[in-house]
Chains A and B, each alone.
With several copies, the nearest count.
Chain A
Amino acid sequence: MIDFNHVTKVFNDDIKAVDDISFHVPEGNIVVFLGPSGCGKTTTLRMVNRLESISEGTISVNGNSVNELNPIELRRNIGYVIQHNGLFPNMTIEQNVMAVPDLLGWDRKKKKDRFNYLMDLVGLNPDQFRKRYPHELSGGQQQRIGIIRAMAADPPVMLMDEPFGALDPIIRSHIQNEFLQIQEEVQKTILFVSHDIDEAIKMGDKVAIFREGQLMQYDAPDEILAHPTNDFVRKFVGKDRALKSLSLHHIQDLVNEQHLNQADETNKQQKTVPIHTNLKDALSILLNQEAEQLVVQSGDNQIGALTIQDIENYLHEKIM
């Protein structure tokens, strides 16, 4: 879907913000750009919709080099979400969300339907918010509006620059989940900037790790956690990368691979958990001394008991 081909960006003839980067983004994927401040994430993102010019190399979307497309057209076909949401304070929520359809000259009925659909998608009542202004919304609500505004004209590609950066941890995690659910439904191709490793692991189908303009590693999150290609990546993902990778796997995955013992009915230190619980949570519960073994429930059936030993085995055999 999106191809970066030896892309380089030089500012003011001497600052190499992006340095010979090549990678392919498959359709329908979320790719997270991760790296320390100033490593070139935003610049890379903004070259896609030509908010920055490309110094060398090419970026193509659907096989067409962006340099050969009209930038206005291009931008209208790419959703763009920036940190701090960038809502227009002078426009109502509806006008904000319908900004691009407006530019495209959609008719009133079509816009209204689309607005209602999008608001439903993020669980906000369309009629209640239609005529309100951004400052009348909470931070989390504003963020949601920022996202559906970028989705308004149903662009196949979306660019999101630290869209959840300004939110506090609890709301942030909530919106992340919500967004993943929406993505299930809409299947956009998304470039997503973050500087938070946990967010990257959670949101990304793939993660691109940058350092001083260079692409250090481009892989699926569990690959990155399991096999960091160099010391920089290893450090960046942190000492507890194994724990992190556990959150990417569910009891289901483990059950698919290895056999669980029967639950020991006599053990009182046990607890029942559903099969789609992720392994990090499962481990936490076990460590919390809430249980020595977890009884795994699938539908109405108990399919066995999970211990720390099982998780450790799975981690070593299958993940790392």
Chain B
Amino acid sequence: MNRKKLLATLLKALLSILTVLFFVWSYRSGYYQLIFDDPEGFWFLFQQHLKMVLLSSSLAIALSVPLGILVTRPKFKKVQWLIMNTANLGQTIPSLAILALAMTWMGIGFKPAVFALFLYSLLPILRNTVAGIDSIKPELLDAARGMGYKPYQILFKIELPNAAFSIFAGIRTAVVLNIGTAALAYLVGGGGLGDWIFTGIMMRDNIYLLSGAVPVTLLALFADLTLRIIEGFVISKGVRQSVEAD
């Protein structure tokens, strides 16, 4: 029992040390120098990145959650099959390809990048919304109906709160993916921190590389963490689960 705990603690310690070592090494090597040398440049790219992510994610949430709700209504059960399969198929198209296609269609710049990110975020949210609502035990809905809940009350008081965990997981996945994919926006002239990452790769310049890659990674981790914290407030304690497999 205690040996197992020890092993876990050791691993945690090792990982923390490695992480610290990485940061010390990269910092000492001056790999973040660019951020200090060109703070405006950094801020400019960072803002671009954030704008892309926020805009595309909010649009995606605003579209896919209602759509998910719609297709789980009994009337649309048949459409649901179609939409979910299309969504699953869409999920196989790599983010890079969506970005490229958006560019050939909309030209270069911010717009195609946001559009591609938006498209790419739709699917996880839609899928999780549908799965979350569908997995609610039918007897709960039966109980609610039997107690005189009106359909919209069932939706807002029973279905959404109980599916919230799943929906939020979808949003988290989408936002995190989004932050990573936004780093590709450089390719189509969309800007963002991908600019420095690609410069770093192309010039084999670790300063550009890490000054771009590390902030993007931290941004993703931070977004994930923030959303988890928000989740803690928004989602009822009664429906939170620990480990989920899908």
Task: List chain A positions with a Cβ less than 8 A from chain B.
Answer: 46, 49, 51, 71-78, 80, 82-84, 86-92, 99-100, 103, 133-135, 149-150, 159
Contact = CB atoms under 8 A, between A and B. Distances in A.
Contacts of A74: 148
Given A72-B148, A72-B150, A75-B146, A82 B139 contact: yes
Interface in B67-100: none
5 contacts: A75-B146, A78-B146, A90-B239, A135-B238, A149-B147
Contact of A88 (B145, B162, B237): B162
Interface in B114-144: 137, 139-140, 142-144
B163 to A, nearest CB: 9
Interface string B144-161: 111111100100011001
B236 interface: yes
User: Chain B interface: which size bin?
Assistant: 20 to 34
Contacts of A86: 137, 139-140, 142-143
A49 B146 contact: yes
Contacts of A159: 146
B186 to A, nearest CB: 43
Contacts of B162: 88-90
Contacts of B146: 46, 49, 51, 75, 78, 80, 82, 159
B158 A88 contact: yes
Contact of B147 (A80, A83, A89, A90): A80
Given A72-B150, A86-B139, A51 B145 contact: yes
Nearest to B164: A90
Closest 3 CB pairs of A and B: A133-B238, A86-B143, A76-B148
Interface of B (DSSP majority class): helix
A91 B236 contact: yes
Given A80-B143, A82-B139, A84-B139, A90 B238 contact: yes
Contact of B161 (A80, A87, A90): A90
B153 to A, nearest CB: 7
Contacts of B144: 88
A81 to B, nearest CB: 9
Nearest to B238: A133
A103 B142 contact: no
Contacts of A78: 146
A158 to B, nearest CB: 11
Nearest to A93: B238
Nearest to A92: B238
Q: Tell me which of B137, B146, B237 has the highest count of chain A C-beta atoms within 10 A of its own C-beta.
A: B146
B147 A51 contact: no
A75 B147 contact: yes
Contacts of B145: 51, 75
Contacts of B140: 86, 88-89
A88 B158 CA distance: 7
Interface string B22-40: 0000000000000000000
Q: Tell me which of B145, B148, B236 has the highest count of chain A C-beta atoms within 10 A of its own C-beta.
A: B148
Q: Tell me which of B143, B147, B161, B237 has the highest count of chain A C-beta atoms within 10 A of its own C-beta.
A: B147
Contacts of A49: 146
